[in-house]
DNA sequence: CCTTCAGGTATACGGCGTATACCGCTGTCC
DNA sequence: GGACAGCGGTATACGCCGTATACCTGAAGG
């Protein structure tokens, strides 16, 4: 018994933080609670991270570093698509990550690398810097593999009877919503998020391509 | 002097909350601080709102109710565009609103009305329920007039000398980012957010239109 | 052997949302 | 006119939070 206790380092703190956040979300990730899971006093954490924000910064980077893409794609569109889906594969497994990345104020190296790779692909496709710039903004959070669903239409009760009642209650106030919700693909069940994601992503990528082919320029500089 | 004090009602609380949030953001909006601005004890607020979350719910609705669109548009695309820009005109004046709406779990009547109006326009344009559904997801937060810029490329120092130094430091690590950033439209100055927003919005709307014309169907139901 | 110091602890401060109990004024009804 | 209900405010307190500060302890290095 040479070492009385495994000595706890930055990596262990990070691992614990990520698994804790996976379980309880980002708001549930408190320093006290994290300390508990690693069997240590809250203040001990501050020997390894300088603040909760610093911790989250690093957690975000850690997740981005896990993106893995089979390279070798020469077509810009296929590469961008593949990188974004690689991001999606990782980030959807850590739901807290969406909130975390949106609240960061500084981009770390891993984050910059991912963005750089996307831009590089587009440049290789012959995009102008201007178009690359607009495309990146247009992708927005989608370049991380997710989209915010801002309050999707209210989830209907699963029970068929209650569902019909709710539907007819809304029917006159929000006919279009009900008409859409009555569609088979949406009724009751959660819709296919992957399909929705790809639908929008491909519209954007196709749009970039078309504009590029047409020699798109941004409006004359102010 | 019949009334010793103006009696404070739900509306006054809401108005104060919104102007306070405009000033200090959503995190800065604490019940104690809000109470102070209306000259009252923190707990007094709970006679008018049931919780902080309830307060924010109502604030979100209040903002949405302020959307104003000159109706009379018959073309679906023009109407959707106009409604979204109407939303943007309001929501960009209340930066806290983005965070607020993203953290809501239930859609209130005003929110539902806005979504209903967008869907209604698309239905009038002949969209299938399925396409409406996908389009709404694709719009995502853009239907509220904003997009999350997830960690835009790091802002460069304004000072030209420091800027060049920063650029060359990044140059080898992130060549594509630097290449884009060196573009006149982005260098130093903040880019034109309205233009970026419209760029992406129009790609999406045009994409919807094209798919509709081609009689798009979603993948065969599972 | 003494020193240094990395890595842990103990305590405390000021913030937060809000549960609970209380209190005074005002309008209503007998 | 007097009892009383109840609305809108207050006072206090609890349990969270992030973290500043001070302290301790054991091992490594001269």
pLDDT band, residue A1 (cuts 50/70/90): very low
Q: Find the range with the poorest average confidence among A191-200, B86-95, B175-184.
A: B175-184
Of the candidates B112, B117, B203, which has its C-beta nearest A138's C-beta?
B203
Q: Do B174 and A113 touch (CB under 8 A)?
A: yes
Rounding to the nearest 10 degrees, give the CA dihedral for residues A204, B119, B56, A22.
-50
Q: Do B218 and A207 touch (CB under 8 A)?
A: no
Distances (CA, A) of B165 to A50, B18, B182, B212: 28, 42, 13, 50
User: Can you state the angle between helices A129-139 and B193-213, rounded to 10 degrees?
Assistant: 80
Of the candidates B116, B141, B170, which has its C-beta nearest A148's C-beta?
B141
pLDDT band, residue B160 (cuts 50/70/90): confident
Q: Encoding tokens for residue B93?
A: 């004046």
Chain B interface, best mutation among A203, A204, A206, by max B CB count within 10 A: A203
Chain A interface, best mutation among B123, B207, B211, by max A CB count within 10 A: B207
For the stretch A69-91, pLDDT in tens is 987 778 999 999 999 999 999 99
For the stretch B56-104, pLDDT in tens is 999 999 999 999 998 777 899 999 999 999 999 999 999 999 999 999 9
Give the nucleotide at minimum CA-to-C1' distance from A49: D19
Give, as ranges, the nucleotides of chain D with any atom within 7 Å of a protein CB. Answer: 7-12, 16-22, 27
For the stretch A116-168, pLDDT in tens is 999 999 999 999 999 999 999 999 999 999 999 876 556 666 778 887 887 78
Q: Find the range with the poorest average confidence among A36-45, A133-142, B108-117, B163-172.
A: B163-172
pLDDT band, residue B159 (cuts 50/70/90): confident
Distance CA A80, CA A143 (A): 9
pLDDT band, residue A4 (cuts 50/70/90): very low
Predicted TM-score of the model (pTM) = 0.91
For the stretch A47-63, pLDDT in tens is 999 999 999 999 999 99
Overall average pLDDT of the B181-204 stretch: 81
User: Phi-psi region for residue A25, left (φ > 0), alpha (ψ -120 to 50) or beta?
Assistant: left
Give the nucleotide at minimum CA-to-C1' distance from A50: D19
């Amino acid at each position: 018994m040479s070492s009385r206790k495994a000595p706890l380092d930055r990596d262990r703190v990070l691992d614990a933080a990520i698994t804790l956040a996976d379980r309880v979300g980002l708001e549930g990730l408190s320093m006290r609670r994290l300390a508990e899971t690693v069997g240590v006093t809250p203040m001990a954490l501050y020997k390894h991270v300088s603040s909760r924000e610093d911790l989250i910064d690093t957690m975000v980077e850690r997740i981005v570093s896990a993106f893995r893409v089979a390279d070798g794609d020469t077509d810009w569109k296929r590469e961008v698509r593949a990188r974004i889906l690689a991001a999606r594969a990782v980030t959807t497994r850590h739901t807290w990550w969406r909130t975390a990345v949106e609240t960061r104020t500084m981009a770390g190296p891993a984050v910059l690398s991912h963005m750089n790779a996307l831009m590089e692909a587009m440049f290789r496709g012959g995009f102008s810097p201007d178009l690359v710039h607009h495309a990146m903004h247009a992708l927005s959070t989608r370049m991380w593999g997710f989209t915010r669903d801002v309050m999707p239409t209210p989830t209907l009760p699963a029970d068929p009877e209650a569902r019909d009642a709710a539907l007819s209650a809304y029917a006159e106030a929000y006919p279009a919503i009900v008409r859409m919700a009555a569609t088979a693909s949406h009724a009751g069940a959660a819709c296919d998020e992957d399909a929705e994601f790809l639908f929008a992503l491909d519209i954007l990528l196709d749009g970039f391509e078309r504009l590029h082919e047409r020699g798109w320029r941004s409006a004359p500089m102010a």
